[in-house]
A = this chain, B = another copy of it.
Amino acid sequence: MSTLGPQTLGELGEAAVLARIFPRLPESGATILGPGDDAAVLRAPDGRFVVTTDTMIHGPDFRLAWSTPHDLGWKAAATNLADIAAMGAQPTALVVALAAPADTDIAVLEGIADGLRDACEALAPGCGVVGGDLSSSATFTIAVTAFGDLEGRDAVLRSGARPGDVLAVSGALDLAARGLELLFERAVDDSGAADAARAIALRAEFAAELDAQLAPRPPLLDGPAAARGGATAMLDVSDGLAIDARRIATASGVRLDIDSTALESPTSLTGGEAHALLATFPPEVPLPGGFRVIGHVREGEGLSVDGIPYDARGGWDPYVDGVR
């Protein structure tokens, strides 16, 4: 214990840690009963709620040498809320289960709480943290479950694309993957280990790419906007455009044809973690928000690029590809 008083989670204990974190967390407009009891109670105004869960794990999903605590909180919120938005729902709330080594400094958790708050405020105003859990673990882990409100609309599924629809995307497809490539090439030391000083210098030089990877800004408001605007299918591009477009094709029983001239770079087709929204719209409707056309829905199956079948896998599997 330093002369500044207890600073690690182990020195402070669970109650003191929670007392330091709770005031920093964003409040949810859907809260009926917030943290502090056995469970929270939330509003579901149309008698339904949307739910998704996604976990970030030190090693496969992030490096503490590359991400600031604020980045971690931001990304954990943003990526989960993107799955809510991809259903056409308005994000309303999060619960956060955090597991960290006992020697973790409280400042790390405070930074994560600030990142959760700032991401909610910037990307999904009114969304907040309604509950959580704090555990001791050898592996730093952030498991988030997110909620949304369909506001009386049908959910936009992967299965609704129809031949003749346009294929459109909102958000960058290649920046996050290029950011990760840059980190692995240039933010490592001579042994290949993640290097914090080099990551800071790299971020100053390639802000757009590294921000897209470390603190992404998925266009969450375009999810409900797409639903209101008549989207027939939609998903969050998390594993790469090729993999995720094929998911819509399979679920809808159609072929998706991508126009290569509409893509920023070859990385757009395979780069993971874009957290862009990929949607199909009837040809006659004006595209809402930031959506731009990148292809068309055709009869058939699978994925093609400029009309030529595209069978490469593309993208990333946490088990097959392992820890990079």
Contacts and interface: CB of A to CB of B under 8 A. Distances in A.
Contacts of A41: 48-51, 87, 150, 155
A235 interface: yes
A22 to B, nearest CB: 15
Instruction: Give the interface residue-count category, chain A.
Output: 35 or more
Contacts of A10: 319-320, 322
Contacts of A102: 319, 322-323
Interface string A46-66: 111111111101011100000
A13 B319 contact: yes
Nearest to A322: B102
Pick the most buried of A60, A236, A318: most chain B CB atoms within 10 A of its CB: A318
Given A55-B135, A318-B136, A43 B48 contact: yes
Nearest to A52: B39
A269 to B, nearest CB: 19
Interface in A68-109: 83-84, 86-87, 89, 95-97, 99, 102
4 closest A-B pairs by CB: A44-B44, A39-B52, A143-B143, A139-B139
Interface of A: 9-10, 12-15, 17, 32-33, 37-55, 57, 59-61, 83-84, 86-87, 89, 95-97, 99, 102, 130-139, 141, 143, 145-148, 150, 155, 157-158, 234-236, 317-320, 322-323
24 contacts: A10-B322, A12-B319, A13-B317, A14-B319, A15-B317, A33-B155, A37-B157, A37-B235, A38-B87, A39-B83, A39-B146, A41-B51, A42-B48, A43-B47, A44-B49, A49-B49, A51-B147, A54-B133, A55-B97, A55-B99, A55-B141, A59-B138, A97-B97, A143-B143
